[in-house]
Every structure is written in C-alpha cells, then in structure tokens.
Structure 1
Amino acid sequence: MRVVVEADGGSRGNPGPAAYGAVVLDSEGPAAQVLAQRAERIGHATNNVAEYRGLIAGLEAAKEIGARHVAVRMDSKLVVEQMSGRWKVKHADMRELASQAAAVSRVFDAVSYTWVPREQNKRADALLNTVLDGAVLDIGKRIDEAPRQRQAPQQQAVQQTLEAVAAQPAASWEPPKSSSTRLILVRHGETEASRVFRQCGRSDLPLTATGMSQARAVARRIGSRDAVAQVYSSPLLRTMQTATAVADALGLPVRTDERLIEMDFGEWEGLTGQEIQARDPELRDQWLSDPTTTAPGGESFAQVAARVGAFVDEVVEKHPGENIVLVSHVTPIKLTLKSALGTGWELLTRLFLDVASLSVVEFAASGRSSVRLVNDISHWQR
C-alpha cells in the first residue's frame, strides 16, 4: 500500500506550548482520502521538536494501517533535509528524534521526503492548531480519542482500509497463482570494477571478455526457460551488453528504464568498501545502518527503493501472468528481493550477489509475493 503522510508541528513562543498534527492520505492532491490522523499537545517544546514528533506520529499511523511505501510531505525544511541525509543532525534532541523516525522508517519498503510550502500542508497544520486552541479536542488527547461524532469521516476511512486488508488473500505456503508476474532478475556480467569490488554506480563501464562470456551463458540459461514476454534493462553499458545477449537469444527487443540504474555513490564512486571505511568511517556506518542516509553527493537506499519499487509495481500491473527479465545491478536487485521477502533493511548487508547471477521472484497484483531463486550462477560457474 502506498500512502502520503503530511505532518507538522508548532509551538507558541518557540519554545512554548507545542503540538503536532499528522495525516495519512491515500494519494496527493485535494481529492485525497484520509486514512488516519494523529494530533497531540506535547507541553513546552520548540517548533523543531514538535515537527519531528509530528513526523514520528505520521509514520507510526502509516505503519498501523499496513503501508509499505510512504511519501512524507512537510513544510519543515530542517526535518526534510535531515531525514533525507543532506543535513547533519547536530542538536542532541534532534538526533534522538531523528533516530526514532529512522527506526520507524525501517519497517517500510521505501520512505521519501519532500518539502512543500505551508499552504500545501494545511491539513496537518489545522490539526495541531486545533489541539493548541483546545476548541475541539481535549488538551493532551490524540485525535483518535476525540468524541465519536467528530471522528466519523476518519473512522469510515480507516474502516474501509481495514476491510480492504481483510479482503486480501490470507498468507499461504502455496506460491502465487499463475496470474503472478515472474521477474527473472539478472545482474550484469563482470567489469573491471566488479573484479576488485569497487563501488560502480553511474560509471559507464563495459563488460570484460569474461563478462561477455557470462552474459552469453545467462542468455542460454534463460533461453531454456519458459517463454519470456519482455526484457527490461538499466541503460548503462554493462547492463545493456548483458541484456542484449539475453534479448537476442529470445528474439526480443530491450527496453530501458532509468529506475533500474545502480545507486548513485556520489563521492564514493570507484572506491572499495575498505577505502570508504578509511575515508568516512562514521558516515559509512550510518549509511549501512540507516536507509535514509545518503552517500556524500549520492543516493540513500530508501531513495533507490522508492524508484525501483515504483518500476516493479508498473511491470506487475502491465504483465500479469508473464515472465519478465530485468537486467540491473546489485542494489536494485537486492531491494526487489527485500520487497518480495518482506524483510528488513539488514538483508542489504547480509546477501551477496555474484555478477551474471540469476534470481527469480513472483509478485501478484493482490500483493502476495514469493522468492523462487537467489544468486544462481550454475550457468557460468566453473
């Protein structure tokens, strides 16, 4: 489930009497339906503390209704930039709250943060001012504790959400049925960078001679499988060379999509893990433990997960019951496996993917998924 969280916080005096408001919506825009709301007076605090409390409350509400992808919209530049990893969190109070928000974020497949003008965050702003005024809600109570007649629209929306969840198929040991989309995930063949485990994100390197041989082996392996309807690829050279070998063997064209591209490692491009650790030990540790932390000048795992997840959703919707080849890189493939398994972010550091490896997952439109194969290199391993 994809949701939008609008959150805000404020104090009268900064610091002074403070409150937060948060709204979970099914989409953006004025026609969006409210799925959940939170608002609470939090005593004497600063604007920034209240804003972080609003974010945490909104993320918790999204978690409670089963959201997997969350788009956060706030008019706090500080919170958006800090949670996106572009600004450091210097104040002790902010570090604790940012850590709490990051901890909640890890339950989702992806969380993105967008700054919006205050006039586009009116719902959350109205909630916090309502509890500060004390005109509608009892001071100190959450909005979901307000009198029944004041919550009718919210309760109806939440009830509809619960009914939709209840209508989904129950968990089962059986794999998804034939209407599921089977994704054959292919990592590109060997490059000079992959041979020595250097971070190669946006650098457009070609395959080595060994890498080309691996690509042809992948093509033979996939060509012996069930019929494939389409081959999609990252537009970088190493993936295109691999995808072209596969597509030629299948008699299909290659369709490229930027969302399948590798993570942008920024200033860490071309470095090994050991070199990055020596250069930026604290930042690398935070990057590996917090999915919202970006590589310097690059991307975070959460940002990559958002774009890859959107692409996979589109493919599943467009190709029900079909076999689809996706030729990509380590990070997008790991994130797709993470989504199919429903695991936490720790999978990214615990799963190894070889070059020219095959992994297979299935996604159904109902939301069910299964993993059928991971990191198979039997087609080229000597």
Structure 2
Amino acid sequence: MREFIVEADGGSRGNPGPAGYGSVVIDAATGETLVERAEYIGVATNNVAEYRGLLAGLRAARELDPSAAVRVRMDSKLVVEQMSGRWKIKHPDMKPLAAEAARILPRAQVTYEWIPREQNKHADRLANEAMDAGKRGEQWDAEASRAALKARPAASAPEPSGPPGDATAGAARAREALASARPAVATGVRRATAAGSATAAGSTTPAESAAGGTAVGSAGGGNVATAVMSGTGTGTGTGSGVAAGDSAARAADLVTDGDSAMGAQAATGGDAAKAGAAGSGTGSGTGGSAAGSGTGTGGSAASGPVADSAAGGAGPAGDVRGGDVKRDADRRAAHAVAVPASSSPSVGWGAAPDLGAPATFVLLRHGETPLTPQKRFSGSGGTDPSLSDVGREQAERVAAALARRGTVQHILASPLARTRQTAGAVADRLGLEVTVDDGLIETDFGAWEGLTFGEVRERHPEDLNAWLADPEAEPTGGGESFAATATRIAATRDRLVAEYAGRTVLLVTHVTPIKTFVRLALGAPPESLFRMELSAASLSAVAYYADGNASVRLFNETSHLRP
C-alpha cells in the first residue's frame, strides 16, 4: 500500500482576522513533495484555518491515491487530538469541519501525529504566502511559491514522540547531531530540529543544558524555557535573594496570597551562606522582589548534563558563539547520549535516551483573589476566596495562551474556589473537563489565615520564628507544616505520574504546591522555598521520566499576562 504524509497548517492575523491555510502531500517512501495547496479564506480563526488546511491536504491525498495510507502531521494539538477522538469537539465552527475531514478517507487509512512548529515549516510558509496574497487582493499562486525552497528536506534523526516540553526533544537533537557527523545513508521527509518551542512546557538544547546552568530564577516574559535549569559547570551570577539582617518588612513583601514563606527566613537573621545553596544564577520576578541566590558556583545546584564542555564551563546557558560552536556542542552532547548504558550515570545527558515520553506537568498558579495584592496568608484553612476581577482576566489570558500552544491533554485542579475557577476558564477554551484532586490543595496556615506577615509577627512571634527555621514546624493553631506539604505533594506526584504517563497535564494549584513540585524535582533543600517568586496566573512545568528522573522545563512564565 502506498503511504502519504500530509502536513497542514493554518493561520489568522487577528484570530479572527485575515486567514489562510497551507498543506503539502509528501511521498513517505521517497520524501518527494507531490502536491502543495494553499488558499486565502477571508476572515476566520486560527483553528478554522487549520481545519481548512487539513481538509485540503486530505482531498489532495485522495486525488493521488484513494487507497493510500495517510499520516497527518500538524502542529495544532487541538486538531490532532480532536481528529484522533481523544478530545471532545464543542465549538460549533469546528464540528462540521471535523465531520467533513472524517468523511474524506476511511478512518482506518488515516492517522494523526502532533509535531512541533519547527517541523511544519513547509505548510506554515504556504499558509503565510496565502495570507500575503490575500492582503494584496490576490489568491495564492503555486507557480510563484517559494515555500518548498525554504523548507529543504534533509536526513532525519529519530523524532521525539512526546509533547512539547519533553527533554526527549533535546535527546533527539543530540542524536541528530551525532548522525550528521557521519555520511548520510538515507533520506527522510523532514529534518528533526529541536522540538518543544512555543509551548506551556519549554525545552532546552544540549548546548544550553551543558553550559553550566542557573539554579532557581523566575521570568516575567519572553521565552523562558531556560528559566529553571541545572548544570554541572561553574558560573557565577547575582540574585536578589534576601540577605540576613534585612528588615522584616522586606521579607514580608515577598509574601503573597498563599506565598507564606518566601524570603521570610532571611528576616529572622538566617544564615546568609544558605542563599547560595541552590547554585548560582539570576532570579527575576514579576510583581515583587526576585528570588534567587547570591553569587556563587553552580556546580552543586542539581543534577545536570554529563559535562560542561559544550560551553567551556562558563557563562550563561546557551551562550555559544557561531554555528560551528553550536554544532560542535551538539555533537559532544550526542556522544554523551551514546555512552553505553553500563557506563552511563543515572541522570543527565548520559542517561538512557529512549525512556519514552514523560509525564509532563504544566503547573498553573490560580489568578488573583482580593487577598493577593494585600499579601495575606491564604491557604486551605481560610475563607476560600474567589477570583477578583483581575484574577478572572488573568485566567482568561492564560486560557488563551494555552489554547494557542495546544499541548494540554488533561486538566486537574485543587478543590478551592480560586483554582477551580481558573481551571474552568482554561477548560472552556480547550474543550476539556476539569478533574478536582485534593492532593493539589494549598497548605493550611492555621490561625495565620487572612493575616499579613507583619500581623503574624506581632501576634505569634515565637511560632513564626520556629516555622521559618524548621520545615517540621506547624503554623499557630495546628496548620500544615512544609514537611507535611512535601509528603503530600510527593504522593500526589507519584500517583499522577503513573496515571498520566506520556501525557501533558495541566495542574491548576497554588504557590506552595507548585514550589514544592519544583523543589522536589531539583532535589533542593526545604529552604529553597524561601527563594522562589511565583506570580499569580504564572506557568511552570516539570517532566517526569520512566527511570525516576525529573526535568524542570519552565518556571514563573507570565508573558501571557502582558496586554
């Protein structure tokens, strides 16, 4: 049986706005481009344009050979999951398009595969050519198209099978670099470039990972795929972690809704040397003082790549100069991947590369409540406030961002009102259901619920000092200690990793659970909770692998909140 690959894409400049689609049919055996299709379709949404591209590609494949097997590859997670039958189709504009696509060829002949946008450039450029033509008042002209020239096929390395944000994407890139150092023996359909871009969970390249990483930092916008990384190289950086002797007011400024411990230890005269315990790096936060370490070496931050040779062991992650340097770095990392399992360390780039797709947790902190800007303790033992107007707007913005990225397959939420409301906004946009999970609930702050840090210090100074110094200490009135929270989150993590192996899951939860997920993934000490800043409606991500290792892929991403 003959086999075709259909790559399709669509775009809208305004969403809805002027829209177009592109699709290409490729011979799976030879990699030859057989058909290109593109069209300007007027004003439409991104999703409608993507479906129109799928329809055009399937029709073209049927015209070539109605009995052929067809593998559809798209960077729209929405279309792929809906056409695969794993996601419900709720939007009225999508239902007739999906039904029409299902009728073009027998269901048994068509399979659907999500690919990163980087691997869908041919169809993407066709769609942009169609939109450019529409802007000129014309239709797309196949004779004038240069999309195929700009998307040259090359020898293909094994492509990562997991969702965006998987570290397997970096391993695939490394194996590709190793393969490129040898004579080519076969041709493929599409070059497997670094995967995981433009998603709730960002990925890093081997060169970035091997550069000697930052410890724990936070970012307020832009591409923050490398916001949290670990490395074995040396490198120094500066952070705005609160030093011993700073005023209680400074430390209290880091305490936000539920963010009860962050930076507070320093106000009690804690050991300033602990500020560098998590490694070197630069921390920058949104809406408050950044949480980061002081200067120091990052060699002991957390388990990272096998060696820092890719970047000479100095400088920020990804600081490489020139294409040759980057290729050399990729090849060196690839050799680390190729080390026999018997001699490989249990973590980093030397670990077994074929562990399958990880369970990827996209960690979303809920939007603001009325208590958030007042920096009051707000855990599971208080009044359970709902989102404020600002918080509802934040929830809509993050929902739109996640819909654009199209990687989330399941949504779980803490049982508290603010998380359920935030999760509901995302679920409505993605067409998914929300599962409430009690393991994601915020810490119970006992008698401190509703109070500011300063008010707690005035009323319960001894209890507060004990709580700041010892993770086993409970808040006044018998709340939950950080040690107990960590035990609960670890159990929740293990249960969900087993249940959602190989899937991307959005966990809508709170400050302390999210920081605990990150702390446990990094193997950082309990006091690291005091040195992380986490904004309302921010996104973080952790990937969990079959061998028990974890990779922090994103931390405190807030670019979606900007107008």
TM-score range, shorter chain: 0.5 to 0.7
Task: Note the C-alpha offset of 1:312.
Answer: 1.1
Paired residues for 1:229-244 under 5 Å:
229-244=409-424
Cα pair distance change 1:181/1:279, threshold 3 Å: same
Cα distance in 2 for partners of 1:365, 1:167 equals 19
Give the counterpart letter for 1:378 in structure 2: S
Query: 3-state DSSP class of the match of 1:343?
Result: coil
Give the counterpart letter for 1:273 in structure 2: F
Aligned to 2:470: 290
- Report which of the two has the higher share of strand: 1
Q: Is this contact kept in 2: 1:226–1:323, CA < 8 A?
A: no
Aligned to 1:257: 437
- The answer to whether 1:219 aligns with 2:399 is yes
Q: Is this contact kept in 1: 2:356–2:546, CA < 8 A?
A: no
Show CA shifts across 1:341-368 (max 9, x none): 1100111111010100100111113111
Tell me the TM-score normalised to structure 2 length: 0.37
Cα distance in 1 for partners of 2:557, 2:408 equals 18
- The answer to whether 1:326 aligns with 2:514 is no
Show CA shifts across 1:298-345 (max 9, x none): 110011111111111111111111110000010111100101111001
Paired residues for 1:154-233 under 5 Å:
170-173=346-349, 178-202=356-380, 203-233=383-413
Aligned to 1:339: 520
Q: Is this contact kept in 1: 2:408–2:506, CA < 8 A?
A: yes
Aligned to 2:103: none
Q: Is this contact kept in 1: 2:344–2:350, CA < 8 A?
A: no
Paired residues for 1:3-82 under 5 Å:
none
Aligned to 1:366: 547
The range that moved more, 209-218 or 283-292, is: 283-292
Give the counterpart letter for 1:328 in structure 2: T
Cα distance in 2 for partners of 1:219, 1:311 equals 24
Give the counterpart letter for 1:374 in structure 2: F
Q: 1:275 aligns with which of 430, 439, 455?
A: 455
Cα distance in 2 for partners of 1:264, 1:329 equals 12
Q: Which of the pair has the greater relative contact order for Cα pairs under 8 Å at 6+ separation?
A: 1
Query: 3-state DSSP class of the match of 2:559?
Result: coil
Paired residues for 1:101-116 under 5 Å:
none
Cα distance in 2 for partners of 1:167, 1:247 equals 45
Paired residues for 1:294-309 under 5 Å:
294-296=474-476, 297-309=478-490
Query: 3-state DSSP class of the match of 2:462?
Result: helix
Task: Note the C-alpha offset of 1:225.
Answer: 2.1
Give the counterpart letter for 1:377 in structure 2: T
Query: 3-state DSSP class of the match of 1:222?
Result: helix
Q: Is this contact kept in 2: 1:185–1:333, CA < 8 A?
A: yes
Give the counterpart letter for 1:191 in structure 2: T
Q: Is this contact kept in 1: 2:472–2:482, CA < 8 A?
A: yes
Task: Note the C-alpha offset of 1:377.
Answer: 0.9
Aligned to 1:58: none
Task: Note the C-alpha offset of 1:178.
Answer: 4.5
Show CA shifts across 1:86-131 (max 9, x none): xxxxxxxxxxxxxxxxxxxxxxxxxxxxxxxxxxxxxxxxxxxxxx
Task: Note the C-alpha offset of 1:221.
Answer: 1.2
Query: 3-state DSSP class of the match of 2:561?
Result: coil
Query: 3-state DSSP class of the match of 1:334?
Result: helix
Show CA shifts across 1:23-49 (max 9, x none): xxxxxxxxxxxxxxxxxxxxxxxxxxx
Give the counterpart letter for 1:266 in structure 2: G
Cα distance in 1 for partners of 2:507, 2:532 equals 19
Task: Note the C-alpha offset of 1:227.
Answer: 2.9
Give the counterpart letter for 2:522 in structure 1: L
Task: Note the C-alpha offset of 1:282.
Answer: 2.4
Give the counterpart letter for 1:281 in structure 2: P
Runs of 5+ consecutive residues of structure 2 not aligned to the other structure: 1-341
Query: 3-state DSSP class of the match of 1:365?
Result: coil
Query: 3-state DSSP class of the match of 1:195?
Result: coil
Cα pair distance change 1:285/1:224, threshold 3 Å: same
Show CA shifts across 1:204-243 (max 9, x none): 1110111001001111111122432210000111000000
The range that moved more, 368-377 or 225-234, is: 225-234
Q: Paired residues, what number? A: 219
Show CA shifts across 1:253-285 (max 9, x none): 000011111110110000111111122222212
Cα pair distance change 1:229/1:205, threshold 3 Å: same
Cα pair distance change 1:284/1:253, threshold 3 Å: same
Cα pair distance change 1:333/1:167, threshold 3 Å: farther
Tell me the TM-score normalised to structure 1 length: 0.54
Q: 1:352 aligns with which of 529, 533, 538?
A: 533
Cα pair distance change 1:267/1:323, threshold 3 Å: same
Query: 3-state DSSP class of the match of 2:472?
Result: coil
- The answer to whether 1:310 aligns with 2:491 is yes
Cα distance in 1 for partners of 2:385, 2:469 equals 29
Q: Is this contact kept in 2: 1:191–1:206, CA < 8 A?
A: yes
Task: Note the C-alpha offset of 1:289.
Answer: 2.0
Give the counterpart letter for 1:356 in structure 2: A
Cα distance in 2 for partners of 1:272, 1:229 equals 37
Cα distance in 2 for partners of 1:304, 1:228 equals 26
Query: 3-state DSSP class of the match of 2:348?
Result: coil
Task: Note the C-alpha offset of 1:174.
Answer: 7.5
Task: Note the C-alpha offset of 1:381.
Answer: 3.2
